[in-house]
Structure formats: C-alpha cells, structure tokens
Amino acid sequence: MEPMNCTARVTDAACEVWVPTQGVEMCQNIAARVTGLPSERIMIHRTLIGGGFGRRLLGDFLKQTLIVAMAVKRPVKLIWSREEDMTHDFYRPAMLHHVSGGLDGAGVPVALAHRVVSPSHMLYIMPRAMFPQLADWTAPAAPPENIDTMAVEGLVECPYAIPNQLVEQHRLELDVPVSVWRTTGHGPNNFVLESFVDEMAFAAKADPLGFRRSLLSGNPRARKVLDLAAAKAGWAAAKPAGTARGVALASAFGGLIASVVELSVEDSKVKVRRVVSAVDCGRILDPGIATSNIIGGVVWGLSGMRTAITFDRGRVARANFDAFEPLHLWETPPVEVHFIDSGEKLGGTGELGPVPVHAAVCNAIFAATGKRVRSLPLSDSGFSFA
Amino acid sequence: MTSFTINGRGVTVNADPDTPLLWIIREQLGLTGTKYGCGIAACGACTVHIDGGAVRSCSFPLGEAEGRSVITIEGLSHDRSHKLQRAWIAEQVPQCGYCQSGMIMAAAALLKEKPHPSDGDIDAAITNICRCGTYQRVRKAIHAAAKA
C-alpha cells in the first residue's frame, strides 16, 4: 500500500538515504554509482516497509531521488502518487504456455511437455549479481538467451512421477518492464501445471485428488501435504449444496503447499466459500507469522485472478485502485492453514501461499460448471468474483 | 486560514482550502499515523474521524474542516487503550501495518454506530484495502472489541 518513496541528502562528502527497500546493498550500490561517492560514504537507513512483494527489490525511485537531490543541492523527499506508482511498475510478465500430455490405456500419464513463452523475470532484478559489467542496478539486463530459471521454475521440478517430461523455454522480448510479482515464476507456472494435471485426471476419469496421489508414491512429503489439505477440507465428505471443490499442489521456495478451494458459481459469479491450505516448510519458527503469510498469500492469489494491468497506446491504462481492485474484506473467504512441522530444511512462507490458489479455484470452477479457465484474469473467461 | 480541532487541540492552518486534509495532517501538523494510499478515497488508508464519522481525508478539502473536530489514529486514545487497539494487539492483526490505522479508524466509527456489528455490518463498513490480506483478523478483532 505504501507508494514508492525515498528521502535523500547528498553532499560532496556523503550521501544519506531513508528508503523502504528490500535491498539495502542494492541501494548502497546504486547510490555509489549515481553520486560517485565511495561505498563507505553512503548511509542507507531502511525504513519499515509498507508492503514489498518484490517491487522494492528495484531501486529506480532511489535513483530518481538522488538525481534530483544532486541537481537542487538540497535534501529531497520523494513520494510517488498512486498513479505514478501503478503506471511505473515492473509488472508480472505475461506468459503463454503450450502443454501437451499423454495417458496410457489405464489412464496413467506417460508424457508431459511444456513450451513456455515469457519475458525474462530477471531482466531488472539482481542484474549486478548476474552481470557485473552493468553500470548500475537500475538498468535492465537480459540473461543469456532462453536461460531464465524463474520462467520455468515449478515446471522443471514437477513433483509428480511422470516419465518423458520436456520443458522448453522461449524468451519474449517486450518493452514492458517486468519483474517478480510475489510468487516469481512459480505462481503462473503452477496455474498451468496444476490445471493441466486436473485436465489429465478428468481425461483419465479419475478423482483429481486420487489422480495426484497416485503420481506421488515416490514423494511422500508432498503426498502428506496433499492428504492433510484434503482431510481438513473434508474432500471425501459430501459437499455443501451448490458448491464444488478444486485442489492444487505446489512445490516452491523450499516448501510444499496444497490448497483446497470450495466455491459456488451462479450466473458466472464465483463465490469462494472456503480455502484450506496445508503447508510443509520444514520447521515452523514463528507460527503466527507463518500463518499470516499463508492466509495473506491466499488473499493475494485470489486478488491476482481479478486484477490486470492493461495498456493503451503504449501507456498503462489502469492507474489506481478504482481500476485495479484487489480483494476487499467482504469478498475474502475464510482461510484455514495447517502446518506439518516436518523438521526438514527451512523453506519460505512469504511467497508460498498464493502459488496453488489460481489452479485450485479454476479447478473448482471446472467442477462446478464444466468450463475450463485457461487464461487469467477470470474476466477473460467471463467469470468474476461475487 | 482554516481553524479546527485535531485530537482535541485547536489549530489554525494557513494553506489553500482545496488542499486535501490528509496532507495538512501529515505535513503541517506532523501526525504521520494517517497514511496516503490512493488519493481518490478508494483504499481508506487515510481514514480519520470528522465530528465522529469516518472520512477519507485524502479527498476531504481542508476548507471543509473549518470549525469541526478531527480525530486521527493518534487521538483514538492517549495510551493505546481503546478497545480496538487492545483487540488489534491481542489478535496480532497487522502485517506490514501501512493500512492499519485507517482500518482501526473505520472500525472505531463502526463500533460507535453499531456496538455489536454483524459480519454483514463489517462487510459493509470496512471497505479499506489491505494488500497483505489481514482481513480475516480485522474481522475477528472487531468482533473481539465489540465483546470487550
């Protein structure tokens, strides 16, 4: 919610900056490059961050503040308007997937092939770590052609035992600045993978949960997470009248999450009634923060199914919360989170929550209506949230 | 010149009467608990009370505050003892916290009007946006405060 902002004082001898950033060292590097001062003369004060979500991994607003402060030779406080913020963002890349798969006569998957067309998620973030020759950290830097691990993450580590898998990556060059939008490549890739697994289950005339379980015999940790979500959601029990359920599993950020969504659809209006998530992210260090992260992540995931940035003659057309509406309180379903304290290596909870949400919702929409949602936002398929 | 009271203290401000009250509160009066989120009254981060009612101060011109009583998050209680503040801490509602003073001010206005709100009342009154997704705990804390 906090718009991009920065306060800076630059003199011939030193540079002092107050900035809500996710990258203090990045800011120090940018400030050194922009001011020409040595790093030890740069002091970065990181203020409390009013939401980062990946946007504050970029230092463009810091650079702007420094340039102005040097030009006017006075301390400068910069606060972007919401319109400046929303129209000068680094957006989640639009991706196109072509997926094909094969089942044998018994309905067992024998092949899975993905072709992913996407701009590079890593074009702007952490470029210096990858490209030390860059002048500073605000310039875009393309990774070597067709090598962008984020564009294919979650696909190359598919948790299911399906033989004959192929993942192809093709980089799309666009002028739209893009970056990681909470879930990096995992979110969009999981939407595709878990929607397709659901389609395979349907083609195999199998229960979506049972179909997934059968492909996880070699992955007991994932199976346990899936089973916990199913048990807590009452997958085997009768559904409340007029509702349908969908499930999705994700392996991301060193953790595992399965979510079951219960919803109803009336006149193409989707009312999400309940979300149950089970998580194994190793050891739970702070149950309160971990729970909040997952609940908030689910809300983030649901919001992302409705919101979109559009362009009109080269300009961002959606500039404020009247045209880009995240979920409100009245639309937010009850979210339950259940943890497995497995003692395994620590995984992150910050970005895990949203990952399976898109597929779980769309799989439930299919269960309710027989209509597959293969593109987001939901309005692409004529659906909206009730 | 515009005169009004803020958190019980009389103030006179010399600024264009069209200036959004939010920026007077933050920049002139130095009360930074009230936040800027959208500038179009869509998100509620800037919610304050004017004569007891919840108002989005980003879209409220200074001139209209003449002679009125403004309460910001800093004035909700002197010692963080308002039942909503206590409930907010007990339920650990905030994540990043940026939208939360607006949430609390909206909730306080609701409780003043409806001391025991239903879920439907909360749905209708709390239209603030939270990107962290704290809504579930916001609802819980409002119910807890109503019972306190």
Phi, psi values for residue A342, rounded to 5°: -80, -15
**Least CA distance to A332: which residue of chain B?**
B135
Which 3 state secondary structure label does DSSP give B51?
coil
The band of A173, judged by pLDDT with boundaries at 50, 70 and 90, is confident
Residue written as tokens 């992913």? A116
Q: Which of A118-127, A240-249, A377-386 has the lowest mean pLDDT?
A: A118-127
| Residue A114, min C-alpha distance to chain B (Å) | 32
What single DSSP character describes residue B12? E
pLDDT in tens, A96-106: 999 999 999 99
Write the single-letter amino acid at B78.
H
Across A332-361, average pLDDT: 97
More confident call, A160 vs A126:
A160
pLDDT in tens, A27-50: 998 899 899 999 999 999 999 999
For residue A364, pLDDT beyond 90: yes
Q: What is the pLDDT of residue A118?
A: 92
pLDDT in tens, A85-125: 999 999 999 999 999 999 999 999 999 999 999 988 877 77
Which 3 state secondary structure label does DSSP give A97?
strand
Q: HSE-up of A270 (CA within 13 Å, CB side)?
A: 35
Which chain A residues are closer than 8 Å to B127 by Cβ?
328-330
For residue A128, pLDDT beyond 60: no
Which chain A residues are closer than 8 Å to B98 by Cβ?
1-2, 50-51
Which chain B residues are closer than 8 Å to A326 by Cβ?
129, 131
State the first-to-last Cα distance of chain A, in angstroms, to the nearest integer. Answer: 24
**Least CA distance to B133: which residue of chain A?**
A296
The band of A132, judged by pLDDT with boundaries at 50, 70 and 90, is low
For residue A129, pLDDT beyond 50: no
Q: What is the pLDDT of residue A145?
A: 62
Q: What is the pLDDT of residue A214?
A: 98
More confident call, A363 vs A144:
A363
The band of A126, judged by pLDDT with boundaries at 50, 70 and 90, is low
Q: What is the pLDDT of residue A130?
A: 45
Q: What is the pLDDT of residue A142?
A: 58
pLDDT in tens, B22-41: 999 999 999 999 999 999 99
Nearest to B131 among A292, A322, A326 (CB): A326
Across A243-251, average pLDDT: 98
If we measure between CA atoms, which residue out of A262, A185, A198 comes closest to residue A229? A262
Query: Percent of chain A scored above 70 by pLDDT?
Result: 94
Look up residue A154 and give its two tokens.
């979650």
Quick check: A95 and A188 in contact, CB under 8 A?
yes
| Per-residue b or e along A259-291, where b marks 16 or more CB atoms closer than 10 Å to that residue's CB | bbbbbbbeeeebebbbbbbbbbbbebeeeeebb
**Where does residue A173 rank: exposed (0-12), middle (13-18), buried (19+ CB within 10 A)?**
exposed
> How far, in Å, are A284, A326, A327, A348, A350 from residue A291 at the CA level?
10, 20, 19, 12, 10
If we measure between CA atoms, which residue out of B109, B113, B121 comes closest to residue B76? B109
What single DSSP character describes residue A47? P
For residue B112, pLDDT beyond 90: yes
**Least CA distance to A331: which residue of chain B?**
B123
Interface predicted TM-score (ipTM):
0.96
Long-range contacts at A229-236 (CB < 8 A, ≥ 24 apart)? A229/A258, A229/A259, A229/A260, A229/A276, A229/A277, A229/A278, A229/A338, A230/A258, A230/A260, A232/A260, A232/A276, A232/A278, A232/A336, A232/A338, A233/A260, A233/A262, A233/A274, A233/A276, A235/A209, A235/A260
Query: Per the CB < 8 Å rule, is A49 touching B133?
Result: no
> How far, in Å, are A46, A78, A180, B19, B67 from residue B3 at the CA level?
36, 29, 47, 14, 6
For residue B4, pLDDT beyond 70: yes
**Least CA distance to A79: which residue of chain B?**
B36
Residue written as tokens 């600024």? B15
For residue B103, pLDDT beyond 80: yes
Which chain A residues are closer than 8 Å to B139 by Cβ?
329
Give the 3-state secondary structure of A185-215. Answer: CHHHHHHHHHHHHHHHHHHCCCCHHHHHHHC
Across B113-136, average pLDDT: 98
pLDDT in tens, A310-330: 999 999 999 999 999 999 999
For residue B115, pLDDT beyond 60: yes
Helix %, strand %, coil % of chain A (to 5): 30, 25, 45
Write down the mean pLDDT value for chain A. 93
Quick check: A227 and A174 in contact, CB under 8 A?
no
Query: Per the CB < 8 Å rule, is B42 touching A49?
Result: no
Q: How far is CA A367 from the centre of its chain?
A: 24
Query: Per the CB < 8 Å rule, is B135 touching A292?
Result: no
A interface mutation test: which of B23, B38, B43 has the most A CBs within 10 A?
B38
